[in-house]
Amino acid sequence: MKAAAEVQKAGIKVRPEVMIPLVGFKKELDLQAELVHRVAKEVMAEQKVKLNYLVGTMIEVPRGALTADEIAQTAEFFSFGTNDLTQTCLGMSRDDSGSFLPPYAELEICKTNPFASIDQTGVGQLMKIAVEKGRQTRPDIKLGICGEHGGDPNSVKFCHKIGLTYVSCSPFRVPVARLAVAQAALEEEAAKKPAKKK
């Protein structure tokens, strides 16, 4: 908040977003949001500035996705932390995945590495539920993805399809993410156009 105040005083528009991680219960977010608002109020009074900011959460645990309608009463945005959501949904550790994923692939238990590309049938369904429930409560809620999946074209296309509007990923994955978003938008446009008669 102090950094935002300094930047704003320098004449640069700023709108910080404070993201509370690993929320599974609305009360957890309520308590943290209360702390954020209190500190913001103190900093604004001390710095004599008015700051516009958002408080939101990362959807990283299944309970957070399933109770997204309650959480959206407080959260102004959701960022899907797909790395942790995958681990908590599948009960698999990404750190240990090298020891069991090759046999899983060989036996066709997992057709793709769920830590590289979103498991659309499992993890993806939790994301869809969270999007729908979050929008029921807050129709204008800001929705995005954060994590390594943000650099995977299939994951980015899936996120576009379910209504997410931003991708946060490591810098070297940005070009791939941008290309995937553009391709998803073009595919969506093409699907809307009526088929030409031969």
- Residue the block writes with tokens 């729908």: 132
Predicted model pTM: 0.89
pLDDT in tens, the chain (198 residues): 999 999 999 999 999 999 999 999 999 999 999 999 999 999 999 999 999 999 999 999 999 999 999 999 999 999 999 999 999 999 999 999 888 999 998 999 988 999 999 999 999 999 999 999 999 999 999 999 998 898 899 999 999 999 999 988 888 888 888 888 888 888 888 888 776 655
Are 116 and 107 in contact by the 8 Å Cβ rule? The answer is: no
**In the structure encoding, which two tokens stand for residue 169, read together?**
């990923």
Task: Reply yes or no on domain 15-178 having CATH 3.20.20.60.
Answer: yes
Q: Report the interhelical angle of 26-47 vs 2-9 (nearest 10°).
A: 40
Are 81 and 146 in contact by the 8 Å Cβ rule? The answer is: yes
**Angle at the Cα of 21 from the Cα atoms of 126 and 92, rounded to 5 degrees:** 50
* The pLDDT value given to residue 187: 85
Backbone angles phi, psi at 17, to 5 degrees: -120, 120
